[in-house]
Chain A
């Protein structure tokens, strides 16, 4: 596990137009982490970034992405015009003196694309819960940023796993009948309560139904799976089974009591929307199933309305949840037979579907993927166009000095990666093994034969 806090040297957000004159530099800085950094040092870092952005703008139309110095990497992201988010990461490096005594850099280096994704998802989370930067007045923005980003940064963990390199959504495969039940339930719900729209159906940590723009879905999914649901599961365990047995299910948002005041506003783009709109978010959970509903902010949500909704959803959802639960047990048995000794990852760019080999890491911690290998996968995944250039169909096999073979396949928008550690293999054997894994694990998904 990478300790993000130790790696992040600083994280700041600035907008140069907030303090255009000399002497007003501090006003440009909307947020600065760590907050105890001296004002001079803050000004200096932001000033350097401003200069660098300006310098590059004379050569390229594209926004500045990164600045690298001997010891640090600055990663830039401009989500809205004039608003720059910068993440500064320490990079391990060896000086000649250090390498002379045989000390080499640790294996804990941070993959650039992961850091960029961290920056981007922090903004998307901000946008979902707070809205656009530009909607805030100068008076508000400093405190809004502080309240949002400080807890966010402190809560993030980068576990050095494939899931951090390729950010996707875990879908739950269901048989036709069960899936049909889910669909019927959602249709019935929306028909009976036309103000509500179901935007997601999640079982455990796996998605079954999505009514959002895929990009927003990823953000909502990450919020649910990484932050909200773990807390709720914790509560359920401590609350004991009694409370759960008494009732069919419960609202997570808005929580019990004072419900109309505690409604949470979010900015989301539903499938049918052309742009993000503000909605109230309602989250309901029973057994292991969680559904998210949106309501237009102009609708007045009455407590009676929620009570009636609870009475409608509760029994139905728990029936469906137990059906799915049975399905999952059967499915788990089937996959156990297919257990692959090699790590693989599947990703579909169109629906962000992400599947990886059953986590062997829990059983054998030593089999965790090495950061070097992850970094190579990140390169293939992100640098698709320029280097690997697999296009609609292609394949790349890379062998590292420590006998790891990393294979990446692409078919239209689908990607498949396999990591094999094998000392005396040749290209052909690796390719055959990858084909075999692809056929058994990804049954029914088309890959061009290579």
Chain B
């Protein structure tokens, strides 16, 4: 297909200032800005054979680092959990053997399963997520008790294998007018989302991939594969206790935060100087610790800074998993922790070891120091205290707290008011080259909390009356726009849609993606002017909104 990549943003806004770079772009990105949609498109078009190969061959970045540092990379010690595997009892293999039959004929197991699926725990949910092993054994269900879903999992496994074995094909999705079931086979796991939301198939597959990565992050892909090579019928839940909670949180997180939709990372808006001081504090303290791969500081699902070993970058999806880990683990707040973390995009074969702690009682910024050394807790703990002291002395903690508490005086707290464009109700901007995003109204932690409370009964579909849209609703509205912009067969560069509720503009150029909600029936020339002003403002504030440097140790 002919694509005109030499496109300039000025197509719509002809009086755009001739800046060198679009707002937020810099020559040096701290993140690996691979577009997850593009990555996805290629993944989704891989054939059956290619899929099997791609999971098997991947070199280990971690051992590469270890050998560079000159350390003998000892073969990974069998962890406690895989010992567990050896002594596993054999009794759990019964349930899957008859799974093929349930699909062919409606017999008793089927009716039993139907009853449970119609129970209040499961019926009327907006989005189900099921994870099972390729042998059909349940591993995770977002709602209800996965034990009772053995029948359903049998059916899923049978569907997947019938399409693969008899048709030499891959099952992708099934849809009705109001519901989509999306299937993803990853290594030894089958992941399924059954959704009544308006997310596209690609967006759902992306979420399933994240769920898979979350499991990999707890186990490593190597271990996951080995477990099922040794025992196809293994009950993975034994190894994943605790990870269910991470997946639960991740699913909510993904439904709300546009960071996932755009494959970008949100940064905590900070004065340029403050961010520089923080980065310096980390660099000067850690440059002697030679095994340290990444030092990441984050707060409230927003990145403050990231210092990395030369040559290695982090993918936004790995950062999202770290956000999720920090956000889901209350225990990090009370004590310094030492935890193995596998970052699937960075290296899915092994663990990094992470020192995780909050900077201080009075500042909710969390510092992660990731190393390849298994026993570096004490030097890293030492480093953390040094950093915390430096930050306190340079007043950085105050700056972080101001940003977190959304101090009224900051321009980024209420950007729409600050720019003074009353006809814009909401916007979201992604700088493509650095994979960072900024929205007019960051979804704060307490709002997520609200959302979770509202969905306490568990993501039921509710007929709600819309009085005032929350930022989450705005992002929901952008989903369809986002998927048509990124549609592989018929992509769009610009969508302008106006109706009696609102006017939405979605616009993608080589450098950025922008989604804006205006008042209804907005005049086009006014919209053009407003977008122009918005882009100028983002450019002006880019040092504050985005991380413009890519510091290394």
Chain A residues close to B by CB (< 8 Å): 22, 44, 47-48, 51-52, 54-56, 58-60, 62-72, 93-97, 99, 104-105, 107, 109, 372, 375-376, 379, 386-403, 424-428, 431, 450
Residues of B within 8 A of A104 (CB): 1
Cβ contact of A70, chosen from B158, B172, B201, B524, cutoff 8 A: B172
The reply on B117 being an interface residue by CB < 8 A is yes
The reply on B173 being an interface residue by CB < 8 A is yes
The reply on B45 being an interface residue by CB < 8 A is yes
Give the Cβ gap from A58 to chain B, nearest Cβ, in Å: 5
A94-B45, A376-B492 given as contacts; is B177 within 8 A of A55 (CB)?
Answer: no
Contact with A along B162-200 (1 / 0, CB 8 A): 110011011111111111010000000000001010100
A428-B525, A450-B498 given as contacts; is B45 within 8 A of A96 (CB)?
Answer: yes
Q: Are A59 and B498 closer than 8 Å at their CB atoms?
A: no
Give the Cβ gap from A55 to chain B, nearest Cβ, in Å: 6
Task: List the 6 closest pairs (A to B, CB-CB), nearest first.
Answer: A394-B499, A60-B179, A399-B494, A70-B170, A62-B176, A387-B480
A51-B155, A398-B492 given as contacts; is B173 within 8 A of A65 (CB)?
Answer: no
- Shortest Cβ distance from B156 into A: residue: A55
The reply on B152 being an interface residue by CB < 8 A is yes
A379-B484, A428-B524 given as contacts; is B499 within 8 A of A390 (CB)?
Answer: yes
Give the Cβ gap from B123 to chain A, nearest Cβ, in Å: 9
Residues of A within 8 A of B481 (CB): 387
CA distance A399 to B492 in the complex (A): 6
Residues of B within 8 A of A388 (CB): 497
Give the Cβ gap from B196 to chain A, nearest Cβ, in Å: 8
Q: Are B499 and A393 closer than 8 Å at their CB atoms?
A: yes
A-B contact pairs, 30 of them (CB 8 A): A44-B167, A47-B104, A51-B103, A51-B155, A52-B159, A56-B174, A56-B176, A60-B196, A62-B177, A63-B176, A65-B176, A65-B177, A67-B173, A70-B45, A70-B48, A105-B489, A109-B489, A375-B489, A376-B492, A386-B198, A388-B497, A398-B492, A398-B494, A398-B495, A401-B7, A401-B493, A402-B4, A427-B12, A427-B496, A428-B528
- Shortest Cβ distance from B48 into A: residue: A70
Give the Cβ gap from B484 to chain A, nearest Cβ, in Å: 7
The reply on B500 being an interface residue by CB < 8 A is yes
Q: Are B3 and A401 closer than 8 Å at their CB atoms?
A: yes
A22-B105, A55-B159 given as contacts; is B500 within 8 A of A431 (CB)?
Answer: no
Give the Cβ gap from A429 to chain B, nearest Cβ, in Å: 9
Q: Are B162 and A48 closer than 8 Å at their CB atoms?
A: yes
Q: Which of B311-327 contact A (CB under 8 A)?
A: none
CA distance A64 to B490 in the complex (A): 25
Cβ contact of A59, chosen from B42, B113, B181, cutoff 8 A: B181
The reply on B75 being an interface residue by CB < 8 A is no
- Shortest Cβ distance from B162 into A: residue: A48
Give the Cβ gap from A288 to chain B, nearest Cβ, in Å: 39
CA distance A69 to B179 in the complex (A): 17
Contact with A along B104-128 (1 / 0, CB 8 A): 1110000001100110000000001
Residues of A within 8 A of B118 (CB): 58
- Shortest Cβ distance from B118 into A: residue: A58
The reply on B387 being an interface residue by CB < 8 A is no
The reply on B445 being an interface residue by CB < 8 A is no
Q: Are B496 and A389 closer than 8 Å at their CB atoms?
A: no
Residues of B within 8 A of A94 (CB): 45
The reply on B11 being an interface residue by CB < 8 A is yes
Q: Are A69 and B524 closer than 8 Å at their CB atoms?
A: no
CA distance A69 to B171 in the complex (A): 4
CA distance A72 to B163 in the complex (A): 11
Cβ contact of A396, chosen from B47, B159, B498, cutoff 8 A: B498
